[in-house]
Structure 1
Amino acid sequence: MQEFAFELALCAHLERPDRVVGRQLGAAVHGRRVADVCLVEPGPEFDRRAAVTPHTIPPLAIESDAGPGTARPVAEAFDCHPDRARAVAERAVELGFFEREREGASTAVRQTVRYPEQWFDSLVGIENKPDLDRPGDLRDQLRIDASLGLFDEVVLATETYVTGAHLNRLPDAVGVWRFDPETGEREVVREPEPLATDGPGIELLDREPGRAEVRPVTAAEKRRQRRRIAERAYGKGWRTYELPDCERCAPSDAEPADLADARLPWCAWTDGLVRPVADCGPTCPGYEPVDGGDSDGDAEGVPPSEGPEAVRARRSAWEPDPAGVDRRQAGLDRFL
């Protein structure tokens, strides 16, 4: 099965009401590492974070000097280009994380609520490689994850039968799952070892024969990047596609049943999962344009009109319509 389909099937299998699943997330501090899948396990302040916004809170807004107390001018609250600072502040206001005030000729902002740093408990990074006979950059990718320590645990997911030779090529701390996307069965070949997320790490940036370029990463930099990964996973999720506008895209026909419930892009013509942008459209021999109504069929117990956000809300800890937070702190008006 193609890697995209394998990845979607695994995300559907791992999604559950007490966690958040994200896909294709930046997982480097100085380099360009991208994690295929990330599991975000809620922490004690999860409900406080969920109450703010269903979207990703801009990292620069969280890291700015604009706290929940006295409002600060945008130019002073951010350590970046003024145009960038204004754009980030505006987005944070739209999301309800900032509120805006006027201070003379300038704009000032402050947080509507103190950011709940403990909203997530742990992060699990998963690298998908269905065919271990075509490993690509797998070894270096997993070495980056193991030595950097952004994730509490790192796992390799594959469809291949895993041999001792395969295991010997991987860092000892990396766990291994054998996953069958057609049945949803998952076998734990090797349990992952906990990584040291609280301390400093080493990031592999480049490797050539006889030479490796690495860079130390501080504990503070890791904390910041872990928060960014968790925020991005919460706002982005893993359904980063639209179902094709084709009569033969029928998620309710997917097997196993979990794939149907997750509303994945299942094509009845190819009898498998497809990449909507790359595989679907008028150039496909099996394409049949939708003639009114919905193209996603009707899985048992699932309304045919249920969109991706409703499915995600039903199957995960993500809150699509939060109550929000008070936009003005009681008692502060008299000091303005």
Structure 2
Amino acid sequence: MYPGDAEFGFELLVCRWVETSWPPESTRRSAVLVSRQLGTRERRWDTVVVECDPEGLAARRRFGERELDSDLLHVVRNAPAEWSWYRDALPHPGYPWRYVRAAVHRAADREVVETRRRGNRIEIRRVAPYPDWVRRIVAVENKPDLDASAARALSGQLEHDVETALADEVWVATESTGSRIEPALLEDLPVDVGILTLSFDDDVGAAGEAEGAEPDPTGTVEWYPSEVTPADAGRDAERRRRRLELAERAYGRGWRSYHETMRPDCRHFELRRFGRALVPHCAAKRRSQTAAECAGSCPEFEPEPPAWRSRGWPIEGGPGKGIKRLLRRRRADVRERAIDTD
């Protein structure tokens, strides 16, 4: 059983499982970036998996750890190898050039292009070619309890995902029931959507225990997805642009850290180990809380005592600060492992 009684805990464990075990039922690990709650204006996915070219992913590091938005991508991808006036070097963006000029200045501030002024003109030059680092994008919907009503509500969204084909594959992840035939197989889901069942060990330990001390979760493919990539995908510039923007957001955010939307500065906030994942735990509620519950409006919220925040080693600012540093390090470690994997 996953921690807590909401999809939030299941979602955290699915993301961690993907980071360590993707692709499913394969002994060959892929270089992947995983992000939670990411998508477009029309559609947001629970989990987005970006399968990467390791060499391209390593080359992407030259442009920093922050994401490149659409305006910055327009500049970086088209910046010339030799000095050139930016309006000669860049294709017309379809909007006023003054916005491109602002993006050029932002790119220079982040050192992802070089600029110089010649008379009244700003010239640009690339610092490196922008790499082709994205291989495939996989969308995963997390529904631990996929009963009939949940399947009906999800079916329309999955059909939209298959039709728009922004992702190359679409999956539904649900909790394993241990039945010979998983109930998810009997629900009315699009045939192109894969079904993945996950079993999690419920022996929750303290966050200080050794990495991997508990058994890893297991994932089983109940139904393989179809590749929904359009036949003309290589010629669809708009699709390539949207996918690259999505991948850049995943690169910058990684597995969106829950400490950004929760209150680790509360004296009741703890981390508990669940398999190889660290999940939030509320000592006041005595269970894993959701992001919506863990806010300043929570009746159990108590700020850390000032004495906690003023201590030095090993806390350096209080337990909440320590939790944030720990989760940031884990995100950085995941990115490093992805680059070293092929």
With normalisation by structure 1, the TM-score equals: 0.73
* 1:161-172 superposed matches below 5 A: 161=177, 163=182, 167-172=186-191
Structure 1 residue 48: Cα displacement: 0.7
Which of 114, 128, 145 is the aligned partner of 1:113?
128
SS in 2 for 1:36: strand
Mapped contact 2:6–2:290 kept (Cα < 8 A): no
Counterpart-to-counterpart distance in 1, 2:326 and 2:175: 30
Distance change >3 Å, CA 50–CA 143, structure 1 → 2: same
Answering whether residue 26 of structure 2 is matched by residue 26 of structure 1, we say: no
SS in 1 for 2:16: helix
Which of 286, 295, 298 is the aligned partner of 1:280?
295
Structure 1 residue 178: Cα displacement: 2.3
Counterpart-to-counterpart distance in 2, 1:318 and 1:198: 31
The corresponding residue for 1:142 is 158
What is the root-mean-square deviation in Å for CA atoms of aligned residues? 3.3
Which of 60, 66, 86 is the aligned partner of 1:73?
86
* 1:311-326 superposed matches below 5 A: 311-317=330-336
The corresponding residue for 1:4 is 8
Counterpart-to-counterpart distance in 2, 1:257 and 1:245: 24
Counterpart-to-counterpart distance in 2, 1:143 and 1:314: 35
Answering whether residue 170 of structure 2 is matched by residue 154 of structure 1, we say: yes
Answering whether residue 111 of structure 2 is matched by residue 84 of structure 1, we say: no
Counterpart-to-counterpart distance in 1, 2:136 and 2:196: 19
Structure 1 residue 317: Cα displacement: 3.6
Answering whether residue 150 of structure 2 is matched by residue 132 of structure 1, we say: no
Distance change >3 Å, CA 167–CA 316, structure 1 → 2: farther
Answering whether residue 244 of structure 2 is matched by residue 227 of structure 1, we say: yes
SS in 2 for 1:108: strand
Give unmatched runs, 5+ long, in structure 2.
Answer: 21-29, 203-215, 310-314
Paired residues, number: 291
Mapped contact 1:150–1:226 kept (Cα < 8 A): yes
The corresponding residue for 1:193 is 225
Mapped contact 1:145–1:151 kept (Cα < 8 A): yes
The corresponding residue for 1:204 is none
Counterpart-to-counterpart distance in 2, 1:138 and 1:218: 31
Larger helix fraction of residues: 2
1:267 partner letter? C
Answering whether residue 118 of structure 2 is matched by residue 103 of structure 1, we say: yes
Answering whether residue 46 of structure 2 is matched by residue 40 of structure 1, we say: no
